[in-house]
Amino acid sequence: MVTVTLRGFHPGQQEILRSDARFRVASCGRRWGKSLLGVAMLTEAAGNGRRAWWVSPTYPMSSMAWRELKRMAAKVPGVATSESERRLTYPGGGTAQVKSADSPSGLRGEGLDFLW
């Protein structure tokens, strides 16, 4: 298990982080920090041994998330990176993966612990 400390978030982001709701929906404007919050939450989930996905409508739209996920993972020793699958595997067995909804069949059949 990897300890990930989430800090430096504004009150709106902190409210989402603290929520224990199964589903969290936020209606936020541009530059609110949704992407960075999502990357942090994916990193936390994967670091704690869970299977986490970031799903974007198209593959190019997920590029920023993939870059940030790799940047955060670089701080954790032992994380394996698969560029072709856009997947990070953490030492405790958790994974963070970036997927596209371009082909819905590619999203079937997987058990997930966290989805952004």
Computed on alpha carbons and rounded to an integer, the radius of gyration of the chain in Å comes to 14
pLDDT digits (tens, 9 = 90+) for 26-66: 898 888 888 889 999 999 999 999 999 999 998 888 898 99
Predicted model pTM: 0.84
**Residue 2 confidence (pLDDT) above 60:** no
**Residue 5 confidence (pLDDT) above 80:** no
pLDDT at 4: 56
Ranges of each domain in the chain: 35-115
Tracing tokens 């856009």 back to the chain, one arrives at 86
Angle of CA points 86, 89, 92, to nearest 5°: 160
**Residue 91 confidence (pLDDT) above 90:** yes
Least confident of 4-8, 71-75, 77-81: 4-8
